[in-house]
Amino acid sequence: MIEQGIFWILTLFLVGGSLGMITSRHSVFASANFMLAMIALSGIFALLNQSFLFLAQILVAVGAVITLALLVIVSVNIHQRYTPDEPNMRRWLAGVSLLVLPFFVLLINTAGKMPISFKDVPAEFGTVRGVGATLFSDWVLPFELVSILLLVAMLAAIIISRRGGDHDA
């Protein structure tokens, strides 16, 4: 029962944060809302017994990514005059939501028909030990590939930013 209550509260924050993110006109407000949503999402992970995922989410998504985004927003010092004023934003949001609706209904229908249910899981589920054992046994190759991806992304980020700097100068 408590679990369900927590789920609803977290869902409230999650959905509210997401909606706030896509509706706010200012970048900083948007990223604040987004951070809220991400934190709530990590809570949902905890509800699902995914302790390691919870940690990773807090560390990476919230800690690194959001911070980075905020840093960027602040560092480029986006003044209100640089952000688009988007006069038709609400109309766009409404129209696109209408378009997405059938897709959403389809997804909900599919989710409702899933023949799955939550059973009790061993204590090791979702812990660093359990996930690590799987990660380094069955998933070694994807893991290594992702590490290469990260390396490439880092290089790309540096090069793209630098080239832009050169251009600017």
Partner 1 sequence: MNQTLLLLIVILPFASAAIMGMAYLFTSLRDERIYSFIGIATPVAVTLFSLILGVQMLSNDTTFVIHSTLFEWLHIGEFQIAFSLMADRLSAVMISFVSLIGTLIHIYASGYMRDDIGYGKFFAYFNFFLGAMLLLVLAQNPIIMFIGWELVGLASYLLIGFYHQESGNITAANKAFIVNRIGDFGFVIGLALLFLAIGDKGFGFDAIRAHISLVDPGLLAPIGILLFVGAMGKSAQIPLYVWLPDAMAGPTPVSALIHAATMVTAGVYMVARFDFLYELIPSVGLFIATIGIASALFAAIIACMQSDIKKILAYSTMSQLGYMFVAVGLGAYSAGIFHVFTHAFFKALLFMGAGAVIIALHHEQDIFKMGGLKTRLPLIFATMLVATLAISGIPPFAGFFSKDAILVHAFAGGHIYIWAIGVLTAFLTAYYMFRLFLIVFITPAKTAHRTTEVGMSMKWPLAVLATGSALTGFLGANEAYGGSNLFGTFIHLGDRVHHVDHSTEYLLGGLSVAVALAGMMLAYLRFGKGASEPKADTPWRALAINKFYIDEIYNALVVVPLRYLSILFDRFDTLFVDGTINLMLLGYRGAADAFGTLQNGKVRYYALYILIGISLLSLAMLRMTRSPL
Partner 2 sequence: MPEYYLALAALLFCIGLVGAVSRRNLFVIYMSIELMLNAINLMLATFARAQNDHGGTVMALLLIAVIASEAAVFLSMIITLFRTNRTIDADFFTNLSQEQNP
- Token pair for residue 13? 């924050």
> Min. distance of Cβ 72 from partner 2 in angstroms?
5
Question: Does residue 89 touch partner 1 according to CB under 8 A?
Answer: no
Please list every residue from 32 through 71 that binds partner 1, using CB under 8 A: none
User: By C-beta, is 2 or 82 nearer to partner 2?
Assistant: 82
From partner 1, partner 2, none, which one binds at residue 38 (CB under 5 to 8 Å depending on kind)? Answer: partner 2
User: Among residues 105, 151, 154, 156, which is the contact residue for partner 1, using CB under 8 A?
Assistant: 105
Question: Does residue 154 touch partner 1 according to CB under 8 A?
Answer: no
- Token pair for residue 70? 């905020």
From partner 2, partner 1, none, which one binds at residue 40 (CB under 5 to 8 Å depending on kind)? Answer: none
| Residue 76 near residue 152, CB atoms below 8 Å | no
Distances (CA, A) of 168 to 37, 158, 163, 165: 35, 15, 9, 5
User: Among residues 22, 96, 128, 133, which is the contact residue for partner 1, using CB under 8 A?
Assistant: 96
- Token pair for residue 89? 């934003």
Question: Does residue 94 touch partner 1 according to CB under 8 A?
Answer: no
Q: Show the DSSP H helices in the chain as ranges.
A: 2-23, 27-47, 51-56, 67-75, 89-112, 128-135, 140-168
